[in-house]
Structure 1
Amino acid sequence: MSLHDDAVLVLKDYGDQEELRQRYLEHLEAHSDGMWKSCGAGHITASALVVAPERGRVLLTLHRKLGIWLQMGGHCEPGDPTLAAAALREATEESGIEGLTLLSSGAPAPVRLDRHAIPAPCHWHLDVQYAALAPAGAMERISAESLELRWFAYDEVPEVADESVVRLLERTRAAL
């Protein structure tokens, strides 16, 4: 199964945000390259909010290009077998934390979707957002994509991050 096919299945199974979910599916139907950064109409991305529930904390990255606090995530790569694997790979690469696991009660499922504009040439990111659980005692390690990594208490997130991250945290906490 291709990553494109996996994305279609994941989105068909996703039971929320009906209008946005349908837009994602229409995008994939119209664009055989809709998973890739090269798609000028926008592309699917995969991200994961890294949480340490026992500490009541979330790890955010100060994004090097955008200069804002975000969850870990980014572009799918040809070697990614699934959207969930892409999100986990991105979270691991950007956080430096080994042993992350996606929040699930079976097969990993997205926590929410978020469509946002990105400066050209990317245009639109159609982000499929997961949550990743950090192992006890996890130590982060900054990557080249970040200016900084920092753990925030849940109630601090609205003070530093935009509404999409706040909504992702709310959905993640409800799923814990």
Structure 2
Amino acid sequence: MSLHGDALDSLRGWSAPTSEQDVVRRRYVAHLEARPDAMTRECRPDHLTASTLVLSADHTHVLLTLHAKARRWFQFGGHCEPGDTTLAGAALREATEESGLADLVLDPVPVQLSEHAVPFCGSGPGGPVHHLDVRFVTVAPADAHHEVSDESLAVGWWPIDALPDPDPDLVELVALGLARVA
């Protein structure tokens, strides 16, 4: 199965945690059905991306990256690559590359979908680029040691109740991630 097929199957079968998330799920499915290139960054203005929320072993902290281009704290993630065969695999690859954590085991069920404009990715005929992000969760081993990648200015653990720049989307992601691993 192709990455596109995996994404379509995963999102068609996903039980969204809220009615708002189900509206977003239907939009992603319609986009995938209409665009065979939906998994590539060349698909403009919208394309799917994959990301991972990394929770501490005791579920009290999240590991976030200070994104070099956005200059904001986020979960790990980004564009799907030609070698990716599943959305979950793309999310795990991104988390591993950006965090330096090698022993992550990803829950293969998405926890949140987030559509957002990405000004630093430019714009095109359809306006600014939008990432249709599919978000997953993993729990880091207790002895995990992270590193800073070329895409980050910093990587650090944050208490779940004291997130930096607590964007409502990130707050919801943390809540949904915790509920998924509980």
Query: For the superposition of Structure 1 and Structure 2, which TM-score range results when normalised by the shorter chain?
Result: over 0.9
Structure 2 CA distance for aligned equivalents of residues 24 and 72 of structure 1: 20
What is the match of residue 68 of structure 1? 72
Residue 155 of structure 1 aligns to a residue in which SS?
coil
What is the match of residue 140 of structure 1? 146
Match of 2:38 among 34, 38, 58: 34
User: Which residue identity is paired with 1:6?
Assistant: D
What is the match of residue 173 of structure 2? 168
Structure 2 CA distance for aligned equivalents of residues 161 and 6 of structure 1: 32
Is the 1:68–1:161 contact (alpha carbons within 8 Å) kept by the matching residues of 2?
Answer: no
How many correspondences in the alignment?
Answer: 171
Q: Which runs of 5+ in 2 are unaligned?
A: none
Q: Between the two proteins, what is the percent identity of the paired residues?
A: 48
Q: CA deviation at 1:98?
A: 0.8
Q: CA deviation at 1:96?
A: 0.5
Is the 1:64–1:145 contact (alpha carbons within 8 Å) kept by the matching residues of 2?
Answer: yes
Please give the root-mean-square deviation of Cα atoms over the aligned residues, in Å: 1.2
What is the match of residue 156 of structure 1? 162
Is the 1:84–1:130 contact (alpha carbons within 8 Å) kept by the matching residues of 2?
Answer: yes
What is the match of residue 9 of structure 2? 9
Residue 167 of structure 1 aligns to a residue in which SS?
helix
Q: Deviations along 1:34-92, whole A, 9 cap, x unmatched? A: 10001112100000001114161100000000000000000001101100000000000
Structure 2 CA distance for aligned equivalents of residues 61 and 98 of structure 1: 16
User: Which residue identity is paired with 1:125?
Assistant: H
TM-score normalised by length of structure 2: 0.90
Is the 1:69–1:161 contact (alpha carbons within 8 Å) kept by the matching residues of 2?
Answer: no
What is the match of residue 97 of structure 1? 101
What is the match of residue 90 of structure 2? 86
Q: Deviations along 1:94-116, whole A, 9 cap, x unmatched? A: 0001101113xxxx100110000
TM-score normalised by length of structure 1: 0.93
Q: Which runs of 4+ in 1 moved over 2 A?
A: none
